[in-house]
Structure 1
Amino acid sequence: MTHLNWRKSSFCQEGEACVHVAAAAPGADVKVAGSADPGEAYLSVSQTAWSAFLRALKGAGTS
């Protein structure tokens, strides 16, 4: 099993209700979790989909 280095969102408030993300290697699918134990259950999305999601979020803040 591949070790994942989970990172907590910088927009996280107090407590563990946060988004966590991890990628095993460059080009690998991005893992996305929203719990205190992100390794337990997560979504897996392609790098392309994750990049498009982040671009959409960043663009939403410009209006």
Structure 2
Amino acid sequence: MNPSWQKSSYCSEGASCVHIATTPSGTIHLTESGDPTHSILGATPQAFAALIHVLKENPAHV
């Protein structure tokens, strides 16, 4: 897989950033630019939507 990563719009220059990519099958991948091991988290669209919902409802925990 050679994903096309998109950087979070909340990322400032030089900061550790969240990046997201999707696969043709619909799986969503997340990674963090400051992670030296380049760990990638995979999620279904439903799980990703639930994550975004929780983060929007609880911004103090982000």
TM-score of the superposed pair, with normalisation by structure 2:
0.72
State the partner residue of 1:55: 53
Q: Deviations over 1:10-62 (max 9, x none)?
A: 1112215100001023x6110000026xxx5411111111000001111124x
Question: What is the distance in 2 between the residues matched to 1:43 and 1:17?
Answer: 16
**Residues 1:45 and 2:43 aligned together:** yes
Percent of pairs identical after alignment? 30
**Rounded Cα–Cα distance in structure 1 between residues aligned with 2:43 and 2:10:** 21
Question: Does structure 2 conserve the Cα–Cα contact (< 8 Å) formed by 1:3 and 1:24?
Answer: no
Between Structure 1 and Structure 2, how many residues are aligned? 57
Give the counterpart letter for 1:29 in structure 2: T
Q: Any unmatched runs of 5+ in structure 1?
A: none
Q: CA RMSD in A?
A: 2.1
Q: Which runs of 5+ in 2 are unaligned?
A: none
Contact 1:7–1:22 (CA under 8 A) maintained in structure 2? yes
- Give the 4+ runs in structure 1 shifted more than 2 A: none
- TM-score of the two chains, using structure 1 as the length reference: 0.71
